[in-house]
Amino acid sequence: MTAIDDLFTRLRASGKKALMPFITAGDPNLPFTSKVLLRLQELGCSMAEVGIPYSDPIADGPVIQASYTRALANKVKLDQIFHQIAETRRSLSMPLVSMVSYAIIHRHGPTRYIESAKAAGFSGAIVPDLLVEESAQFAKLCRERDFNLVQLVTPTTPQDRALKIAEQSSGFLYFVSVTGITGERTQLPEGLIDRVGWLRERTNLPICIGFGISKPEHVRLLSPVCDGLIVGSAIVRCLEKACESEANAIASASELVSSLLAALES
């Protein structure tokens, strides 16, 4: 059982839901990434998603793309990320999951990536560009090494395909709330709650909803039908201020996260 499995077992037993912020590793530098992770834990977040910068992101909107560009401009490397996370893990108890392109995993070597990520303190990986038809071998490697492989279900995923994705996934399912790229939205689409409810009846995996979630009202609307909520662009937008003042950036992100956590508890 991974730390992610244990987390959702405890949350379900207590009737609580997870808030999972997304941040980009190395934006604008790796020590700042550690500061943010420790602050998110201090605020009460259940888990954090750490984006591995990639020059050709699959589904990321302009805010997260810009954060990847800033990190890559500073020549952040995968091994450096792993080293920094390992250092931070000494003071960090909440689980971490990496958001990573399969191109990076393939270049690093699938087995080596899993082992390096686990050694650093990651409990799993979200791999948005790994097709379910091509995921069996990597899923097997992950299961053998007690490392969660999280895959995405989108609003346009046919029901039979969604069930196949659930079968190849572990830890939790990432349910994409909207068609398109990441980014803050004023409204979430009609039918989202029904689609998530349908899938929850057919899998025991926890379901976390992401893309477009940025407001307390989003949290209050969606938390009854899912196991967790993922917030990315809204937090990354706060943290982009770190280039001017790290303290102000963390304060801005803390205010947003606190409001979302309050909504989760209401």
The CA-to-CA distance between both ends of the chain, in Å, stands at: 30
Instruction: Give the CATH number of the domain where residue 188 resides.
Output: 3.20.20.70
Residue 182, pLDDT > 70, answer: no
Catalytic site residue from 5, 49, 227, 240: 49
Residue 183, pLDDT > 50, answer: no
Distance CA 70, CA 106 (A): 23
pLDDT in tens, 59-72: 557 889 999 999 99
pLDDT at 180: 44
Q: How far is CA 136 from the centre of its chain?
A: 21
Distance CA 51, CA 126 (A): 9
* Residue 49 bears catalytic tag: yes
Residue 77, pLDDT > 50, answer: yes
The CA distances from residue 92 to 42, 58, 95, 186, in Å, are 10, 29, 8, 33
Domain count, the chain: 1
Catalytic site residue from 5, 27, 60, 240: 60
pLDDT at 60: 59
Question: Residue 180's domain spans which residues?
Answer: 3-265
pLDDT at 111: 98
